[in-house]
Chains A and B, each alone.
Chain A
Amino acid sequence: MIIEVKNLEKIYSGKVSVHALRGVSFEVEEGEFMAVMGRSGSGKSTLLHQLGLLDTPTKGEITIDGINILKLSEREKTYFRLNELGYVFQEYALLPELNVLESVYLPFMLQGVDKKEYIKKATEVIEKVGLEHRLHHLPRELSGGEQQRVAMARAIVNNPKILFADEPCANLDTQSSKTILTMLKEINEKLNQTIVMVTHEPDDRKYADRAIWLKDGEIEKIE
């Protein structure tokens, strides 16, 4: 088991506090492709942010690969994100000044890998997502689908233990969505990559091994 979530709660405090997650508990096996599904406002993205160490839950426990990640210091969380996790966001989250190659080798560079090595590895990964002809293009010169493939390449270049994808097809047309989801499935199967993907699209369910359905911050069902 690679992810173990126990009684997870997240309350956004403010003028009106919002109870986004209400005691969520589940497990994800290594190499599993898990979909987190539900309607808008059900708590899907909030759950992903807690699992991916992008946010801190109000209560509960998250264990990844045997490590209670909520007990890590801020600095340890940073290195954990860099070395063990990968992210694909809904709106690509690419840096506008970096070209395709630079965007993909950035995590490698942060790990202190030798320049020749990270350029070689990044180029290989870019080839895998079919963008070898776009190496020196900036994000604004790419289509939405291509930008999302760059984000995927950046997410997997470090061989993360878990790849988190937050509505990766929300801004894409049907064809591009299919390409991205097929690619995620291939990565999952060929590399035994654990993937947790948030989606509101019922059709996307077929790509995942299992799905957690959330409703009002609670698990409605796991199928």
Chain B
Amino acid sequence: MALIFVNIVFISSILLGVIDSINKQSVESLFGNIIIEPKEGETYIKNVDFLEDIINGTPGVLGSSPHYTSVSILKKKTGKDMKTGGWQVKSVNIAKENNITNIHKLMVAGKYLEESNNREIVLGKEISGGYDANLEYLSLEVSVGDTIEAVFNNGVEREYKVGGIFSTKNTQADSLAFITEKEMESVLGSRDRASEIIIKIKEGGKEGAMIAALRKNGIVDEKIKLWKDYSGTTAGAVESFDMIKYILQGIAILVAVSTIFIISFVNVNSRKRQIGILKAIGMDKRIIITSYIFQALFYTIVGILVGVAVIYLALVPYFIKNPLDFSLGLVTLSVEFIDVAIGALFLLAAAIVGGYFPSSKVAEKNIVESIWGN
């Protein structure tokens, strides 16, 4: 019974772990929790310093980082194959960015940007190629130290040395290139502006309340969005995983119900004679049926308790120490109370049904037939 329960919760917890991993990557590598965008009809957010004062003065905000974004043509300048492609280049204020995203910790070659590296660019592995990139056929096939040319959307052309390559295991993040904020402002001829400001908050899940607080504090005209609004392809994956989770959970519950029913049926049938004797000496069949329901409930409750102990005391700590290395990230077991509660409720319901039907079938039988089988 404990294993049946673990089976129900384990499958959904692994899939939830995958979903959590995808979501965590989106927040930590790309968007933070909240994204501020320019007013309707405008390309840039203006008065970024002023807005950041409001943002960082709002209780619950951990930090913010403004980005300029430019869809640019990147060209490989060295070697034989001159590959080219359109990629998104973002600027970062390194001091601020490092408090919001974790890309600087995920370098697989070279090193991350520094304030003084205005002629360097860091690339996601999908742009550079290599490191098991998913979009290898589109990549520039460059390495650290190579020179690439960037043609920005305002026509400015600049050459950069590839300073580092990063891998977040999130294709969307790994398709970005970063240069310093100072360099981007020089390219765009702009200052105190941004294409977006990403915000990280202290407690994930309270984004709605934070947005309300930001609006109240004076960010009125700019668009404010949630990280979920941007997850794009990963949101589709999350939805698919959610669907798979529900299907597998349903199958696990069906298997559990069938197993309980079979166990109960075999148990009751092996005690057919005893049920006949109890009826013969005057035990009401309702007492017999109730006792079998209680018996099934007892084993189920013990099974659930043992299962909960196995999940929380053994499996969860084990997967925290030894996360599964999926191509989309490290996955641990994400056990949600609602899944545990649903699993437990279905098992308890199955115990009642599994206790009731077989025992009532036997209890309805003729006493002589139950005891002597004729």
> Are the CB atoms of A79 and B282 closer together than 8 Å?
yes
> Are the CB atoms of A106 and B281 closer together than 8 Å?
yes
**Which of A78, A85, A89 interacts with B279 by CB under 8 Å?**
A78
Prevailing SS type, chain B contact patch: helix
B283 to chain A, nearest CB (A): 6
**Which of B274, B285, B368 interacts with A78 by CB under 8 Å?**
B285
Q: Tell me if B278 is interfacial: C-beta within 8 Å of chain A.
A: yes
Residue of B at shortest CB range from A74?
A: B285
Q: Within the assembled complex, what's the spacing in Å between the Cα atoms of A149 and B113?
A: 94
Q: Tell me if B311 is interfacial: C-beta within 8 Å of chain A.
A: no
Known pairs A78-B279, A93-B371, A95-B277; A55 contacts B284 (CB<8 A): no
> Are the CB atoms of B281 and A154 closer together than 8 Å?
yes
Neighbouring A residues of B371 by C-beta, 8 Å: 54, 89, 93
Q: Tell me if A83 is interfacial: C-beta within 8 Å of chain B.
A: yes
Residue of A at shortest CB range from B283?
A: A110
**Which of A56, A74, A83, A87 interacts with B280 by CB under 8 Å?**
A87
Binary B-proximity of A28-58 (CB < 8 A = 1, otherwise 0) = 0000000000000000000001001011100
Q: Tell me if A82 is interfacial: C-beta within 8 Å of chain B.
A: yes
Neighbouring B residues of A134 by C-beta, 8 Å: none
> Are the CB atoms of B368 and A81 closer together than 8 Å?
no
Neighbouring B residues of A87 by C-beta, 8 Å: 280-281
Neighbouring A residues of B367 by C-beta, 8 Å: 49, 54-55
Residue of A at shortest CB range from B366?
A: A55
**Which of B274, B281, B366 interacts with A82 by CB under 8 Å?**
B281
Known pairs A93-B277, A95-B274, A95-B277; A107 contacts B368 (CB<8 A): no
Q: A54-B367, A95-B278 are in contact. List 19 more A-B contacts (CB 8 A).
A: A52-B280, A54-B368, A54-B371, A55-B366, A78-B279, A78-B282, A78-B283, A78-B284, A79-B282, A81-B280, A82-B283, A85-B282, A87-B280, A87-B281, A93-B280, A95-B274, A96-B274, A106-B281, A110-B281
| Contacts A/B (CB < 8 Å), 11 sampled | A49-B368, A54-B368, A78-B284, A79-B284, A82-B283, A89-B371, A93-B280, A95-B274, A106-B281, A110-B284, A110-B287
Top 9 A-B pairs ranked by shortest CB distance?
A82-B282, A81-B282, A54-B367, A93-B277, A55-B368, A78-B284, A49-B368, A54-B368, A107-B281
State the B residues within 8 Å of A (CB): 274, 277-285, 287, 366-368, 371
